[in-house]
Amino acid sequence: MIGASCMRHSLEASMEANEVVMLTIDNIWRSTQRYYITAPLTVYSMMEGMQDYIRFHCYGQDITYNDRNGTSSQSGREAQGKIAVYLVKYWTLLLEIFAVVAWVYFCGTGHLDEGGLTSLIIITVIALDVLHPCAYLWVGETTMTQELASSMSWYQAFTTLGWWELLLHDLILNDFVTGFLKWLGPAWMIAMPLLTLVFPYLGVNQAFMLVATVHNR
């Protein structure tokens, strides 16, 4: 796709093709992110749906107006929205922690297991895909400013949570890292069929990824 867009005979056609390519790449990136982070949301929505079904059919409650605490439906939905945000927040953090644990295990004894490198590659790609939303949910709205951080001593900075939040914000939520992560998804889609010839276990992950990018756009 990128090669074809570079072979356009005119500047206007090339610019139009580049816009389509960037939109497609952005869709692939967002699709893979949604595929990984919606697992707890799916379980949570199923649980809420079952509770609403039981309340309506067994107790005759009007689930369109009142929630289980007797408050308005709007406030109940706002509470559910906050719960969903917290689920995604801790779920993405858990995926990042799992990736670190996987690297430690692989460097220890995991490299001796069959398919250990394949599993490590898949887990690492998943962690990189959810790194941006995880960082945004945790440090995207930090109250620490550059001026305040610059005025701190090294001891104050080391013992201040806001300084670490600002550091992670600057390290991850920048144009370079965001651009790298944005291109990682499409590059992984291109490399995965070729790597399947060397690592057969990647074929299973490829099948799931094809389903994700087709149905989650």
Going from N- to C-terminal start, the domains of the chain cover 12-215
* More confident call, 57 vs 157: 157
Q: Are 130 and 37 in contact (CB under 8 A)?
A: yes
* Residue 10 scores a pLDDT above 50: no
- pLDDT band at 90, cuts 50/70/90? very high
Each residue's pLDDT tens digit, 13-61: 444 444 444 445 555 556 666 767 878 888 888 888 888 888 878 877 7
